[in-house]
A = this chain, B = another copy of it.
């Protein structure tokens, strides 16, 4: 546990950066949160412990983590086009987002490598990275729809 906090601490030490209370708080939230928060959502969570913490600190911290490859960001197909930050240490993985409740589920795929290789071969290109995004209804929302019968929309 506390992988990100530890890693970040180490990186800070190496670069002569400083471990502030704000950073420690943000790191630990990201560490234990099994989600993909927007900057705003992260601020909200942080405010439970430090109501003074500022949005720009959140962004600066996230950008630093990004530059250290400890966090990555992506924009899902949501109404609000905010970046969502993924604290999973950079192992290759993919995402499913429930279009109803916005939950994000991560998953792995052995076939992804095959797809990359295939594209490379066909296009004599060099694929470096990439990922899959799926949209649909998560288990909960899907079953809620079924039980409600003919309703088109889960709630």
Contact = CB atoms under 8 A, between A and B. Distances in A.
A43 to B, nearest CB: 19
A129 B134 contact: yes
B125 A142 contact: yes
Interface string A132-155: 111111110011000000000000
Nearest to A128: B136
Interface string A114-138: 1110111011111111111111111
Contact of A116 (B126, B134, B142): B134
**How many copies of the shown chain assemble into the complex?**
2
A109 interface: yes
A129 B130 CA distance: 17
A105 interface: yes
A64 interface: no
Given A83-B81, A96-B119, A114-B111, A131 B130 contact: no
A109 B124 CA distance: 17
A99 interface: yes
